[in-house]
Structure 1
Amino acid sequence: MSNGFYTSIDNPRYPLVCFDESSKQLIQGTRTPHPMKPGQPAREDFEYQRNGTANLFMCFAPLKGWRHVEVTDRRIQLDYADQMKYLVDVAFPDAIKIRLVQDNLNTHVKASLYKAFPPAEARSILNRLEFHYTPKHGSWLNMAEIELSVLSRQCLDRRIPDTDTLKAEIDAWETQRNQTANTIDWRFTTQDARIKLKHLYPAIQD
């Protein structure tokens, strides 16, 4: 993966997309919360009911200020393959090649697409994707991880009882972020990378 990706100019024919996933525990209160009053915040009881977890797939194009979050019940190979198909067929249908930044999770492989689709379709999707993996101990180099953190702070930092509510809240957040084309001010330069990630760069002897 090249650190220069994040400081390059957006090319619609070769869009840069960062991909990552996270999870959200679904929690429902067991008692009606006390509403907010003048001089007093809303209060809710500490007791709650767990309603399982949901998976969040994040696709983030930092040079465009665009993101899409898909809520699913799981994150197995078939789900990952569906996200790749979405990127190629729906999000960027006119792209020649999508430069995809992702971590080394075991589902993030070409074999996932061959497991999900007929060989010809899997090959067609993969021909439009160019995989770039972050270092195994450097997932923070993936801007999708940063955008997931923004989502967590701005939208998910509270009790959400079910997937329908979760999808509605995330859709509203996504729409607002995309309308204003929010992006990330990436300040980690190539020179910084050569210092912090010295073990990944070749040593040149005079």
Structure 2
Amino acid sequence: MLLAEGRTWDEVSERIDCSRGFVASWSKRFTEQRIAGLYSRHLGQVATVLTPELEARILEATRRAPTGGATHWSTRKLGAHLDVSHMMVARVWRKHGLKPHRIERYMASNDPDFEKKAADIIGLYLNPPAHAAVFSVDEKTAIQALDRKDPVLPLSPGRAERHGFEYFRHGTLSLYAAFNTKTGKVLGKTAARHTSAEFAAFLTDIVIDQPRGKEIHVIADNLSAHKSRPVTDFLAVHPKVHLHFTPTYSS
């Protein structure tokens, strides 16, 4: 009747809480056999009703570790474990936004001064000092410096640009970047090494980029190269440059 009203299979399956294949099967039987096709050919199994209690069981079981050495539940595995259909499990998961196959990572900071450092960093981002520049600085190390052995074949109609498989290695490079939180400008520099001397040299580039005598606040992580002798010597010569370190394991 719902199909006769012009509804789609997806709309009908959502309305009566069944699979799209179930709707398709009965639609085909009616089309081929008319009224006779609507009679069940066997008694079959009585459909399980999703009660609040059963929904709670599915949610509780989802939070427990699966059996049999598996690391995460699948709809079929949990359905077999609870003796319900995998589609019912899928509906409950979809309703509550559960995706057991996905994981996210986190890192907890054990820095005893976490709150103090976090407040300092957040304050620089949200309420920076007037007439001062704030930079967020970081490095990307071990970037492979590759050079293609074969010429690059240019883009052509119906064909993407193509690169050869073989290449020459030229060691690795480190990329330094400083993001000006006010203007959005990024200062970048590459270096063959990743030492405190290179970091101090990059701080010099930041100073040169700004007007003489301007207060500069640099946000950086707790890498040892950021706290070494060359850096402290640089800060002693440039008293208007201030380093702010993020809490440990929080960059």
TM-score (norm 1): 0.56
Q: Are 2:196 and 2:225, in contact at CA under 8 Å, matched by a contact in 1?
A: yes
Paired-residue identity, % = 24
Deviations 1:41-79 (A, max 9, x none): 111222222111122111111112222101221121211
- 1:79 and 2:221 correspond: no
Q: Are 1:22 and 1:57, in contact at CA under 8 Å, matched by a contact in 2?
A: yes
Deviations 1:53-109 (A, max 9, x none): 1221111111122221012211212111112223234434231x3211000111102
- 1:55 and 2:174 correspond: yes
Counterparts of 1:180-191 in structure 2, within 5 Å, are: none
Moved over 4 A (4+): none
Aligned match of 2:187: 68
Aligned match of 1:107: 225
- 1:37 and 2:150 correspond: no
Aligned match of 1:131: 243
| CA spacing shift, 1:136–1:92, aligned 2, 3 Å | farther
Instruction: Name the structure, 1 or 2, with higher relative contact order (CA <8 Å, separation 6+).
Output: 1
Aligned pairs, number: 131
| CA spacing shift, 1:52–1:21, aligned 2, 3 Å | same
Q: Are 2:138 and 2:176, in contact at CA under 8 Å, matched by a contact in 1?
A: yes
- Give how far 1:113 is off: 3.3
TM-score (norm 2): 0.47
Aligned match of 1:88: 207
- Give how far 1:133 is off: 0.9
| CA spacing shift, 1:9–1:33, aligned 2, 3 Å | same
Kindly provide the amino acid, as one letter, of the partner of residue 178 in structure 2. C
- Give how far 1:16 is off: 0.8
Q: Are 1:19 and 1:58, in contact at CA under 8 Å, matched by a contact in 2?
A: yes
Gaps of 5+ in 1: 140-206
Aligned match of 1:172: none
Kindly provide the amino acid, as one letter, of the partner of residue 8 in structure 1. N
RMSD between superposed Cα atoms in Å: 2.2
| CA spacing shift, 1:48–1:129, aligned 2, 3 Å | same
Q: Distance in 2 between matches of 1:92 and 1:110?
A: 26
Q: Tell me, what secondary structure is at the counterpart of 2:226?
A: coil
Bigger Rg, which one: 2
Q: Distance in 1 between matches of 2:169 and 2:144?
A: 8
Q: Are 1:101 and 1:132, in contact at CA under 8 Å, matched by a contact in 2?
A: yes
Deviations 1:102-152 (A, max 9, x none): 00111102622356x7xxxx5221x2122211122221xxxxxxxxxxxxx
